[in-house]
Structure 1
Amino acid sequence: DEKRHAERFMDAYCRLTGKKYQPGPARPSSICDYEQSLKERIMEETNAYEEYGRKYQDLCDPCLRRMFWDARTDEAQHAMRIPILLHEMGADCYPEKERCSITGV
């Protein structure tokens, strides 16, 4: 999904400016703590969801709006799926003190 987003954003940049976007070199990533990295990704995906939503609302061009809507939808799906990975590895998404029950017990 992220690769597709980048390609669509680069295509839009080219259509708008007439220039091909030249991204800098990608920095290598290393993950020391898988659980913590997943928790950070939840926040990053949620922030991207919110940002793409703002861009969607600010634009009038239907093609650009659709591009941001699609990216926003993908980010929401990512943010909802990551807790499943945490659950499968036996990790909690939230510290004990932040959890509450629906019944208030």
Structure 2
Amino acid sequence: MCVTTRRSLRLADREEIAILHGRGETVREIVRVLDRDPSVVSREIRRNTRTSGYRATTADQRARQRRARPRACLGFYTPQEKLQQLLLEDEGQAKGESVVPTN
């Protein structure tokens, strides 16, 4: 159904959603115009509708803030750190030592 492969909505898409949603169009009608997946459009409306209604510029600003939020590191290593860790483990196993992480 959806031909578009873009992941995120552009401001122009959000403006179209605002116009159509303001006219009282259903999510299915908005989906047909934008050629997007229904879940994308309904999630966008649900996340960004306030007491004053859906505002495209506000929704776009909020989406940018969500994308820009720093993510916590969950124990991932750079390729160099991972290689160093594997080499240390190999050395420890070759010597017959038990390798226990120090972190």
With the length of structure 2 as denominator, give the TM-score of the two structures.
0.26
- The TM-score with structure 1 as length reference comes to 0.26
**Largest Rg, 1 or 2:** 2
